[in-house]
Structures are given as structure tokens and as C-alpha cells.
Amino acid sequence: MRVCCVAAILSLASLAGAEEFGPSLPEEGLGLPGVAIPADCWPDYFGGPAEDDLVDPQGLLNSRERKDREEFLRYHADDSRIRLRAMIFDHDQRFPSDMERHLEPWLSSGEPTALLLYRMGEPARAELHFSSDLAQEVPRVEVGRLIGQAARAAQEEVGDLDQFKEFCLQVSIRLYWIERSLGWVEEPADTIPVAEPEPIEEASGSELIKEAVRGAWDAGGLPFLVALSSFISFAVLRFIIRSRRRYRFPEFEMDPRLGGAHGAGVGAVISFGSTTQSPSAQKSPTVDCLGGI
């Protein structure tokens, strides 16, 4: 009776572990129903590593979908030290009882490899197997967490293909973080030095003018500079001419009145107070009535 209880407890523990980390026991041994993998597809699945990272001998993906997934896996291989390979199965197919033995050629190629066994439309039943060097470094708990997070993200998509795309994307992202935790991600040695800004010096007026002229010249402002210099030259020349201009005013001779040199002080006195202004600007006479009284 005690042996039966212990066996029942171990069976429940095995089922719990399979649900958390992906099926770790052969499905035939668990008595799960399913369709066997076609015999003519076995060489492609279990014959050893192929050139392509996507294995789909049953043609579950059309040519366009297959090309997209192959390009994604190729991009991951170029950017990561852990090579990601994917085998696609139908949703109701079961795996052989000695699955690990059949996968050994894929996982003993000499490079860090993550092999994804994915049933279309069933992301929660996916399995992820690591090569021996990775299996020793990555805890089983981390593998289970990786599969669970990728499955939850994939189940948010609607179509089977979209679920497979999302699952591969999530696995690729988490493999990158595994590389970082193992210290496999090399930081770029050559960094671009950041130049410190030069101190701004206060420029004088002449330097500002030179800088403005240089900027206008660099911008192709030759016609503008010619026009500006012509205008400045004309303004300076006009100022010099006006400042040097002198006027000569006539002197009026007055007829003597009552034997004097001028009248009795009644009348207008014509005077020009400035020699730099034109007579027209000083044409208003200054009235001086009885100025001599």
C-alpha cells in the first residue's frame, strides 16, 4: 500500500514538472493520444543537422512563410552565439519515446544550440532542448520560465502562423539574455570618444563682422556682398561730400538813410547763421523791429 502511494505521488510530480517545463517524459509513456510522425519524414527530423535551421518536411508552412522564418533564424544566427533551430510538427502529433536519443545528433554539433520542437497551434506544448554545454549552464527552472513566457506571448496572437512567429521572437530575445548572464556578449571595445565642447570666447566687433562676412560668403552670397559694399561706399561718400560743402552768401549793400549807413531800425534783418546749410534752409528772415531802441 505504501509503495502504491509513493508511485502515485511520483506520477503526479512528473506530470506537474511536465506542465511547468514542457513535456519531459515520453508522451507514449504518459498515455497521451496523438498521431505518429510519418515514417518518410523521420530522416529529415532525426537524421542530423541540416543546412537550414528550419525543419518542416511535412510542409506545414507555405513557401512564403517558410522563407520568412528561415530569414529570421538566419538573422538570429548571425547576431547570437546560441544557434536557434526549429522543428515544426502538426498539432496532434506525438513524439517517440526515445526522443532525446533521436535529437542527440542535433545537440552534439559542437556549437551552442537551442532546438525548438513546436506543434502548430499549440504553443503551450512546445519543447526547448539545449546542447550539452548550454544544458550545464542554464538551470532547468530558467528553461521552464522561458517556455512559459514565450507561450503566453504567443497565445495572445490569433493565427497559428502568428503564434509561431511570436514564439520564435520571444525565444530569440530570451536567448540573448541568457548569453548576457553567461558573459558571452562582448561589449564593443572601440568606443567613439565624445568631444568636449570648446569654451566660448567673447568675440570683438571686428571678429563678428568677419564671421558674418565669412558666413555670407560660404552661403553663396556673393551678389549680396557686392550690393552691400556698394551701398556702404555710396553712403560714406555722400556723408563726406555733405560735410565738406560750403556756401557763399551775398552781402547786400544798404542805401544810406538820413545820412546813416542803415535805416532807423525798422524792418527785417537778413542773416545767414550757418555756412554748412543751404540758403533755402535759412530763407526765413529774422524780424528785428526797433531792435536799436
pLDDT bin (cut points 50, 70, 90) of residue 211 is confident
Task: Flag whether pLDDT at 96 surpasses 80.
Answer: yes
pLDDT bin (cut points 50, 70, 90) of residue 115 is very high
Cross-strand bridge partners of residue 87: 55, 117
pTM of the full predicted structure?
0.53
pLDDT bin (cut points 50, 70, 90) of residue 25 is very low
Task: Flag whether pLDDT at 72 surpasses 90.
Answer: yes
* Coil/strand/helix, residue 271: coil
Which tens digit of pLDDT belongs to each residue from 126-175? 999 998 888 888 888 888 999 999 999 999 998 999 999 999 999 999 99
> Both ends of the chain: CA-CA distance in Å?
155
Compare 9 and 71 and report the one with higher pLDDT: 71
Task: Flag whether pLDDT at 194 surpasses 60.
Answer: no
Least confident among 26-40, 130-144, 158-172, 279-293: 279-293
Domains of the chain: 9-181 (3.10.310.50), 239-252+261-293 (no CATH)
Q: Are 159 and 61 in contact (CB under 8 A)?
A: no
User: What whole-number distance in Å separates Cα of residue 136 and Cα of residue 234?
Assistant: 89
Least confident among 2-16, 193-207, 237-251: 2-16
Mean pLDDT score, 103-130: 90
Which tens digit of pLDDT belongs to each residue from 7-23? 333 333 333 333 333 33
Least confident among 58-62, 66-70, 154-158, 260-264: 260-264
* Coil/strand/helix, residue 262: coil
pLDDT at position 208:
67
Mean pLDDT score, 255-267: 58
Q: For the chain, state the CA radius of gyration.
A: 50
pLDDT at position 87:
92
pLDDT at position 7:
38
User: What whole-number distance in Å separates Cα of residue 115 and Cα of residue 48?
Assistant: 12
User: What whole-number distance in Å separates Cα of residue 115 and Cα of residue 252?
Assistant: 122
pLDDT at position 285:
55
User: What whole-number distance in Å separates Cα of residue 230 and Cα of residue 239?
Assistant: 14
Cell 558674418, located at residue: 212
